[in-house]
Structure 1
Amino acid sequence: MPNLVTVATCNLNQWALDFEGNTSRIIESIKKAKAAGAKLRVGPELEICGYGCLDHLLEQDLYLHCWEMLERILSDKECSGIILDIGMPVQHKNLRYNCRVICLDSKILLIRPKMSLANDGNYREMRHFTPWMRPRQYEQYLLPRKIQLLQGATHVTFGDAVISTLDTCIGAETCEELWTPDPPHNHMSLDGVEIITNSSGSHFTLRKLDTRLGLIMEATKKNGGIYLYANQQGVDGERLYYDGCAMIVVNGKLLAQASQFSLSDVEVITATVDLDEVRSYRFAPSRGLQAAVTPAYKRVETPFYLTSDDEDLGKIPSPEVEIRYHTPEEEIAMCTGCYLWDYLRRSGVSGYLVPLSGGIDSCATATMVFSMCRLVIEACEAGNEQVIADVRRLARYTEGLPKTPQELCNQLFHTIYMGMSKQSSKETRQRAKDLSAAIGSYHVDLDIDEVYNAQRNLIVNALNFEPKFKVEGGSITENLTLQNIQARSRMVTAYEFAQILPLARNRPGGGSLLVLGSANVGESLRGYLTKYDCSSADINPIGSIDKQDLRRFIAWAQKNFDVPCLGEFLDAVPTAELEPVTETYVQSDEVDMGMTYDELTVFGRLRKVHKLGPFGMFQRLVHDWGAERPRVPGDSLPVYAPAQVAEKVKRFFHYYAINRHKMTTLTPSLHCNDYSPDDNRYDLRPFLYPSYWSSWAFKRINEQLEKLEALKK
């Protein structure tokens, strides 16, 4: 007879410091797991307090409240009869640990601290926690007084141990441990652990799911066993979006996969697995030789069966399912839509406002809000009670629920075109109107000439000096001054209307709007924006997405969202429209920057992801952009001589350095790419640089260039 066990894992939309809300969602997931017949439930990392608490994790209150919430879970009789793997921070011997608390029937079986902490990129776990540095070692933990009463004991095992039930063995690892070269699941598997849980707070980036799922598949292909992956899903208070995708994998086969993007607060998946399949899969002499000498884990003995002879008679093992991946364009649409909805419903504001310029960047931001409205209407039609309740609270212009994305968009989303009589073209103004009409946003079309002229006249009257644009014969300084007056006037105007629009529209309850920014990652990296202009906003959904991906997203949305006018944005030349348009001159972003957006993407990846400075980037691009490189079908990379490469690399690092100070005030951006220049969380670098033109790095480029040119003579 097969040894069948039903296990459950989940996506939870937790919120930093929302102790009661988080606990309610945990209990709901437990009830759903039990209803599906599961005997083991796994939840996300730090699920009681929320992963993104940051420096609140240094506060004593937080640890007290986590224990109070755990007491609430353990005291709930509906949470009995199932092994619970719950995430929370725990203090032990005056040290803070990121822990899994394994429980059964109102009692704690084991507290297992995280051994490898995430401490790069967006993560600062070493700032808040200490890793457990003693593999396979354990000690006794003194429980809080109220937990002692539930436990019937004063102490519980704390450390690197596993749970031994009457029919199998369970081990836990946490998030980062999966990504390490020598992960705990290798050693647990060799010591006979058959079920391994991984509880994560893993954030979304474009094209990342393939890497994450590959690691999990490889873990069980090599070791055999049942692997349960849980993750947070949603916005828990920061720049990150946690993209869920809980999974159950057995012997390298995917049996269950939760959604990667969803507006549901609680999503539970289950699978039924035959333990004998794991035992048969692991039968190999070479594995046996390693297992025979592997050091043993302490087993916390637990008189509990995950299998049941009577129940097994009616069960069948879960079949393998096909892995679901989203295209990058779908990822952008769904991630930004879900993020914006979570942020809106939790922030207490009345909606969003986007300064709509008629260009592709603000177009992309507006389309992301429309994607949010589409996802919300789909969730309402599917009967999602939480989403319906949030819509009733937020969209209160009409008695009934909005029926279409456009109707919801009109209630929650506002766009504003801020033109100038000489600088703005009829085409950009019309594109903004057309897009607003297509998606249903409440649109305001105005000119800011009066505001601009008032600011310009301050210079004229106070200094007796009349600044002119470049096309009018003015200097570079005058040209930039006049452009910046317009740009900053637009920021002030956007916030002015964000404050007053809900009242002017007789919005029930009043409130203001959140202003969304539209500076893409390349412009931020190059510093091609005015400090405190329309790049200054409350949130920037596209702040870590490059122009290439934005164009692909708009092309995808044109077809899949049925918005034909989006094609006009794809054909338009990128322009800031801050200089007067003449018969012979139209301002161009790429001309102003001295580099293309595609080149900026390359520079950004090499700088951040490949960790190259000026000299290293030059050496790399001499080969990547050189005429001698091997060509493959579809190769669209540019061909440049070494001197051209040197010029471009120098220009990029020069402008990167002198504009780095702008990153210190950059609008918080939804994190979607690993080359984001976000100074405040992700890309920690100086903002006062020495001149690169006299730097040793540029001198080394010149030396290398001389040698390369000498070889060609």
Structure 2
Amino acid sequence: MEETKLILAGAALNQTPLDWENNLLNIKNAITEAITHNVDILLLPELCITGYGCEDLFLHPWLADETFGKLLQVKEWCEGITVCLGVHLLLGRDVYNTACVIRNKEIVGFTAKQFLARDGVHYEPRWFTPWPANEVQEFEVLGQRYPIGDIIYEEQGVKFAFEICEDAWRPNRPAERHLPKGVQLILNPSASHFALSKTDVRHRLVVEASQKYRCAYLYANLLGNEAGSMIYDGEVLIAQNGKLIRRNELLSFKDVDLELAEVCFGDNPTIAETIEYLPPIDENRELIAALSLALFDYMRKSRSRGFVLSLSGGADSSLCAVAVAEMVRRGVEQLGVLGFVAKARMFGLKDAAYFDMIPEEQVVRELVGRLLTCAYQGTVNSSDDTFTSARELAESIGAVFHAWTIDDEVRGYISKIEDAIDRTLTWEKDDVTLQNIQARVRAPGIWMLANINNALLLATSNRSEAAVGYATMDGDTAGSISPIAGIDKAFIRQFLIWMQRELGYEGLQYVNSLQPTAELRPSSEAQTDEKDLMPYEILNKIERLAFYDRLSPKQVYEQLLADGTASEDVAEAYVEKFYTLWTRNQWKRERYAPSFHLDDYNLNPRSWLRFPILSGGFRDELLSLRD
């Protein structure tokens, strides 16, 4: 064929389910920006009109009607450009996840998704029906007929077709059929959730596909914390014949992040410019970028006025505090002071003028002071070390810091119960009771601050604690959002050291010198988390083998022996303890505050891992460990 040059663009959009005004504005701004750059084809993400996370609302007929009306609005913005965007359709009783092609204000057709994501955090078959390969039909809406199905399109003589997100992750992906049909460009509108190092896999998926199928490949993902739990990195990729042409900066605070490139099509297309992609990914940098963006989007989309935190001086609460500070730093860096202040949705014009006037080095500290309130709630079992850790960290980042003791409240509750049962509570008989009342008494005061500030209360439990229920319900689990529930404790400990060294958070030096402890028993007992449980590295290993690799208790035990992790007696004790605590505490995992999906798996029963609240508790399996 003759050589043809097309300007291709992909735009990541920060959408919100059912937020028509925001979603349509982002779509319109992306189209307008593309038109100013003379783009021929613009690709927008999967289900970007409604938002990907509408869940069971996709089954409501009125939503499909409303969405199609919005699509007709979008159509009118597409003068002189081809725009491809994700939209769902209800045909009969079936709902389809489609990519709509609009060329110069006319809807050309709809390609329907063929493979539905159904593992991990995905439940697409609950809402959508897969489309059969090589089939094209027509449907009618408002007196107009449209083609839908496995369609090959054409732009200035260049044939193009689609893979929609999950389609590209299957062995018999649509690209296998596109190649013999002469397709030279594959478009992939996606809602591919963030997980550590996942961009590495996605990059290979796109670039290697462009080589194997001898085509150009354009990929556009959603951006930000869309619906509460899932985070999208907003990746845009343009590749051709195994070469990467464009890739954007991920996890941006922008609403619209557009990348474009001129791509040549022909028998031997010229690839004028390529970029190098240099793995491996730095997971620490990835995590803080995802965590800070997720917190910012959760705060502004919930219309909350900042955060409140019970800052114990330990690792988990310290990470939550620094994540808010980093949220502010990154947001101001990317959006500018006025952009950040406006997008936060909680400051007036006087505030904006003030922040714009003060020195740049002062802005972040002052904004953190407006957005984060911390309180240290000590008892007789608390140490000077943790108080110093909490106070110095809050001071170093500019957060508001309060400190008080809860001993009177604890004694009040203990006295009431002792009077009721007519005996004295002792550590020998009532260890868990006496520990838990301290954690629970901390909740009312910190909730009061959250209510007063109209702010989000940050719960501080991590994934390792969730696995074994090492948390007090209505105590340290109390909160509006649990941002680090998807991260294990071992990762958190090294992450805090990294943030001190690499990001300059010197206030973390105190917590980084401490051994993790709940500080709920008398100080004479020198309580530590790992003494109560087991070494976190081993706990995390058992958890992953059991529920990510899906091994039986005996297989987990054998793997610990094979790896030299522990001796027979120790491995047996750890495996038995883990499964016993896991089974006993599913009810706690059911009640955790909403959390972010950050790793390649999590323990949240509302997203990644379901487990019965009542079960046999692996009794037979644990009895047969050494058989």
TM-score by length of structure 1 reads: 0.84
Deviation, structure 1 residue 12: 0.4
Task: In structure 2, list runs of 5 or more residues that go unmatched.
Answer: none
Deviation, structure 1 residue 350: 1.3
Please name the residue that 2:111 is paired with.
112
Please name the residue that 1:330 is paired with.
285
Please name the residue that 1:311 is paired with.
none
Q: 1:380 to 1:181 in 2, by over 3 A?
A: closer
For 2:547 and 2:351, how far apart are their aligned partners in 1?
Answer: 46
Question: Following superposition of structure 1 onto structure 2, how do residues 196-595 of structure 1 map, counting pairs within 5 Å?
Answer: 196-276=186-266, 279-280=267-268, 318-323=272-277, 326-381=281-336, 386-391=339-344, 393-394=346-347, 399-401=353-355, 403=360, 404-420=363-379, 422-469=380-427, 474-475=428-429, 478-500=430-452, 502=453, 512-582=454-524, 585-593=525-533, 595=534
**Any idea what the Cα deviations from partners look like across 1:259-283, whole Å, max 9, x if unmatched?**
211100001100111112xx337xx
Please name the residue that 1:671 is paired with.
597
**Any idea what the Cα deviations from partners look like across 1:582-625, whole Å, max 9, x if unmatched?**
2xx211111111x1111121112112221112122122222122
Question: What code does the residue aligned with 2:620 have?
Answer: W
For 1:392 and 1:69, how far apart are their aligned partners in 2?
Answer: 25
- SS in structure 1 of the partner of residue 486 of structure 2: coil
For 2:552 and 2:202, how far apart are their aligned partners in 1?
Answer: 29
Please name the residue that 1:628 is paired with.
none
Is this contact kept in 1: 2:23–2:48, CA < 8 A?
yes
Is this contact kept in 1: 2:139–2:146, CA < 8 A?
yes
- SS in structure 1 of the partner of residue 465 of structure 2: helix
Is this contact kept in 2: 1:608–1:674, CA < 8 A?
no
Deviation, structure 1 residue 663: 0.8
- SS in structure 2 of the partner of residue 573 of structure 1: coil
Question: What code does the residue aligned with 1:80 have?
Answer: E
For 1:110 and 1:397, how far apart are their aligned partners in 2?
Answer: 48
Is this contact kept in 2: 1:19–1:66, CA < 8 A?
no
Deviation, structure 1 residue 324: 6.0
Question: What code does the residue aligned with 1:394 have?
Answer: F
**Any idea what the Cα deviations from partners look like across 1:7-62, whole Å, max 9, x if unmatched?**
01111001111122211111111111122221001110000000011111111221
For 1:268 and 1:5, how far apart are their aligned partners in 2?
Answer: 16
Please name the residue that 1:313 is paired with.
none
Deviation, structure 1 residue 258: 1.6
Is this contact kept in 1: 2:225–2:297, CA < 8 A?
yes
Please name the residue that 1:698 is paired with.
622
Partner of residue 140 from structure 1, selected from 138, 141, 162: 138
Deviation, structure 1 residue 398: 7.1
Question: What code does the residue aligned with 2:527 have?
Answer: Q
Is this contact kept in 2: 1:255–1:320, CA < 8 A?
yes
Matched, 1:658 2:584: yes
Is this contact kept in 1: 2:332–2:339, CA < 8 A?
no
For 1:27 and 1:399, how far apart are their aligned partners in 2?
Answer: 29
For 1:650 and 1:391, how far apart are their aligned partners in 2?
Answer: 47
Question: What code does the residue aligned with 2:431 have?
Answer: N
Please name the residue that 1:606 is paired with.
545
For 1:243 and 1:82, how far apart are their aligned partners in 2?
Answer: 26
Please name the residue that 1:17 is paired with.
18
For 1:353 and 1:393, how far apart are their aligned partners in 2?
Answer: 15
**Any idea what the Cα deviations from partners look like across 1:656-711, whole Å, max 9, x if unmatched?**
1111221110121111123311122221111112143xx331233121xxxxxxxx
**Any idea what the Cα deviations from partners look like across 1:118-161, whole Å, max 9, x if unmatched?**
111111111111111x2111111112x2xx5xxxxx31211111
Is this contact kept in 1: 2:601–2:608, CA < 8 A?
no
Is this contact kept in 1: 2:308–2:373, CA < 8 A?
yes
Is this contact kept in 2: 1:416–1:494, CA < 8 A?
yes
Task: Tell me the matched-pair count.
Answer: 619
Is this contact kept in 1: 2:253–2:335, CA < 8 A?
no
Task: In structure 1, list runs of 5 or more residues that go unmatched.
Answer: 149-153, 282-315, 503-511, 626-637, 704-713
For 2:320 and 2:582, how far apart are their aligned partners in 1?
Answer: 24
